[in-house]
Structure 1
Amino acid sequence: MMQSSLSKSLVLGVSLLGLAFTAQAGSAKNGYDKQQVVYHVNNIHTATGALRNVKNHLNAIGDENIEVIVVTHSSGAFAMVDGSMGKKDSNGNVYDFRDTVASLANRGVKFQICANTIRGKKIDKNKVSPYAEVIPSGVAHVAHLQQKGYLYVKP
């Protein structure tokens, strides 16, 4: 009898701990938990889709329920460079990142660009988007954010 009571107490304690964690993380009204996410963009050819994923993610969770940081490096950093163009769409129009980055930044998305990439690819610092924060190392920063509990997304 004592073991059954102890087992019930243990199950109740674990359940309450789970509820406390959920309450601390917070829940969005649409059923998703609040989230902190790092999007890792290191390829210009996937950057258009990555930014579309960010927009869809915001729409699903709600801007107030998510913190998104887009870390760019290697050729993906060019999404943060004014005048850089992405893939052509089905109508033959070339994708310009500037408006999308501005729109997402206005919704609270933070953008970061790797200083190593700026140096290595000889990117003109005056052409880096005003919405992008320069960070020392893209890959190191992605790992740092993961250590802080950010969920990792690699489109």
Structure 2
Amino acid sequence: MNKVRVIFHIDEFAKWPLLLANLRNLVNVADITRSEIEVLANSEAARGCLDAGEYSAEVSRLSGSGVMFKVCQNSLNGQNISLVELNTNVKVVSVGVLDLIERQADGLAYIKP
């Protein structure tokens, strides 16, 4: 199994099915116990982090497999999404683009489906 360090960036709501397929495929081949697999959602893609949303069950399942999901607070504010509406497996970061910059500086590969 492969050790991976990667952050997926999603900013388009329509790309959630592709993102989730990429994550499922990666989780099947990566050594999850030694890997860092993160997702940062911003812009309109923040809606994919809603607890009542169509992707909530898959976000929860993948989170249980070791994938870390994060969403940008600025994007939530811009779309009038409150914290109580989010899937409980999603962490909020204050500035999504800053998180992307920091994680890439930490050595994580960047993928944008």
| Structure 1 residue corresponding to 2:59, chosen from 86, 101, 111 | 101
**Matching residue of 2:36:** 67
Q: CA deviation at 1:72?
A: 0.5
| Runs of 4+ displaced beyond 4 Å | none
**TM-score, structure 2 normalization:** 0.93
The 2-side partners of 1:49 and 1:65 are apart by 24
**Matching residue of 1:148:** 106
**Which structure's relative contact order is higher, taking Cα pairs within 8 Å and 6+ residues apart?**
2
The 2-side partners of 1:117 and 1:110 are apart by 18
Determine if contact 1:58/1:66 at 8 Å carries over to the other structure: no
Q: Which amino acid in the other structure matches residue 19 of structure 2?
A: A
| Structure 1 residue corresponding to 2:82, chosen from 124, 128, 137 | 124
Q: CA deviation at 1:66?
A: 2.1
Q: CA deviation at 1:62?
A: 3.3
Aligned partner of residue 75 in structure 1, secondary structure: helix
The 2-side partners of 1:48 and 1:66 are apart by 22
Q: Deviations over 1:44-78 (max 9, x none)?
A: 10012101101101112232242101001001111
Determine if contact 2:51/2:88 at 8 Å carries over to the other structure: no
For residues 1-150 of structure 1, the aligned pairs below 5 Å read 28=1, 32=2, 34-84=3-53, 96-150=54-108
The 2-side partners of 1:67 and 1:128 are apart by 22
Instruction: State the number of aligned residues.
Output: 113
> 5+ unaligned residues in a row in structure 1: which ranges?
1-27, 85-95
Q: Which amino acid in the other structure matches residue 148 of structure 1?
A: D
> 5+ unaligned residues in a row in structure 2: which ranges?
none
Q: Percent identity?
A: 26
The 2-side partners of 1:118 and 1:62 are apart by 32
Q: Which amino acid in the other structure matches residue 103 of structure 1?
A: R
Which protein is bigger by CA-based radius of gyration?
1
**Matching residue of 1:7:** none
